[in-house]
Amino acid sequence: MEYRTEDVWATPHVAGKNVVRQLLVPTCDDIEVFETEPGIEVVKTPFGQWPTTCTADLPTDGLLAARLPGDHSPNAQIEWGGSREAAQASEVIQSFEGAIGFTAHDLPRSLRRPQIAALHSIVGYQSSGLSEPGIVVMPTGTGKTETMLAWLVAQRPERVLVVVPSTALRDQIASKFETLGILQVEGIVDHRALRPRVGRVEGRFTDGAEARAFVEAANVVVATPNAIHANEPDVRAAFFESFTHLLVDEAHHAPARTWTEIIRVFANRPTLLFTATPFRRDGLTLPGRVIFRFPLREAQKEGYFSTIDFTAVLDLDDDDEALALAAVSRLRDDLVAGHEHLLLARVGSKARADEVHELYSRIAPELRYCQILWMSLLRQPAGWLGRRGLVRRVCRL
């Protein structure tokens, strides 16, 4: 009989709009039921192993236990009883001991070549005693976030602050840390490893004590620089003091003042900067030394990128409209083909964004904002193509 389960979350730690969560049992339909002793059954998934219970009324305290459904329908839903209390942050770290190996990339249950190479480089660098931030350069599509997760399990840091540039990326990265991404699903991380307690900073803290308690309740906290700097200086100081490590994602932003101030606070603590684009058009350099770089040509050789599909667009009367028509036509074809694609219009100012938005709204009113995103790239790093061409680059996840 096949069973499935939905997510089971621990009771969260809440501080205003800021929440620390732990995923006790992730959604899964790869479930085994077997006897450990005569008459004693357990359920096992890639994420852990739990006892079963037959009680009519599911308890709300004690060990988490699964009640198997009585019907025999496909993917019958498991119910859960027991306490929803989160594991202590220290218990999570203890569960990581021996949970990941450094298996060669061409063997089963292993990281990809760029991921295992980056992990070796990071562990080696952090064992060297050097205090400069380590810069890890991995092209888009090579598994940068999973590398962070593998580092978390391998190095078992006490408390990690992850800084990201936007709220959308904050939620995406936090979700990855909450589930450990695909590492347990693929057997790269042992099922006995607990999912970390992950905090998201979405609002101000009342005072330093609340900020400190929030950090101490988590293994990982994900925040944007703006959310951190919205707090008073004494609250920020209390927020920072309990972290042991810093990760910076999309680190090409690091030379910006708000980012630099955070990195300076961690001057004597291990810091890693992850980026796919280490070079900036303004010539500013990232604060640290490159400890790993996976070449783009190797990413292309490994098949992490498909072939670039370039369409030249030129119209002497109105190249803006010609480009928009070509872009929208390609997007419509992709959507009809079942691809969940987005169209990004690159602009240099808010006024220009308003102008371009009006154009796209006129020629494609049905798409609205669900398929069209606007980006201001006034201070973006080099490496973007000019606006007089339409480019589609697909990354293999």
Q: Is 397 part of any domain? A: no
Cα–Cα distance measured from residue 374 to residue 345, given in angstroms and rounded to the nearest whole number: 5
pLDDT for 57? 87
Domain termination residue (choose one: 23, 53, 81): 81
Which SS3 state, helix, strand or coil, does residue 62 take? coil
pLDDT digits (tens, 9 = 90+) for 187-209: 999 999 999 999 999 999 999 99
8 A C-beta contact, residue 156 and residue 149: no
Q: Residue 379 — very low, low, confident or very high, per pLDDT cuts 50/70/90?
A: very low
Q: What is the pLDDT of residues 308-322, one digit of tens each?
A: 777 888 776 778 888
pLDDT one-digit tens code per residue, 317-370: 778 888 889 989 998 998 899 888 888 887 778 788 888 888 888 988 887 654
pTM (predicted TM-score): 0.82
73 band by pLDDT with thresholds 50, 70 and 90? low
Domain hosting residue 151, numbered range = 89-301
Q: Domain end: 255, 283, 301, which one?
A: 301
Last residue of a domain, one of 81, 102, 117: 81
Tell whether the model's pLDDT for residue 302 goes beyond 90: no
Averaged pLDDT for residues 267-292: 88
Task: Tell me the CA distances in angstroms from 176 to 68, 148, 198, 220, one per residue in order.
Answer: 28, 10, 10, 11
Whether 382 maps to a domain, the answer reads yes
Residues 123, 265, single domain; the answer is yes
The token pair that represents 262 in the structure block: 């955070």
Residue with more model confidence, 315 or 159:
159
Task: Kindly state whether residues 250 and 139 are assigned to the same domain.
Answer: yes
| pLDDT tens, position by position, 212-222 | 999 999 999 99
Q: At 125, list the tokens.
A: 């660098």
Band (392; pLDDT cuts 50, 70, 90):
very low
Phi, psi torsion values for 226, nearest 5 degrees: -65, -40
Question: Which CATH number belongs to the domain containing residue 192 in this structure?
Answer: 3.40.50.300
Query: How many structural domains is the chain composed of?
Result: 3
- According to the model, what pLDDT value does residue 390 have? 40
pLDDT of residue 46 exceeding 70, the answer is yes
Residues 6+ apart with CB under 8 A from 329: none
pLDDT at position 54: 87
pLDDT at 307 over 80: no
How far apart CA 87 and CA 196 sit, in angstroms, is 9
Answer yes or no: is pLDDT of 96 > 70.
yes
Token code pair at residue 340: 């969940």
pLDDT value at position 162? 98
Judgement on whether residues 189 and 205 belong to the same structural domain of the protein:
yes
Residue 388 is assigned to a structural domain of this protein: yes
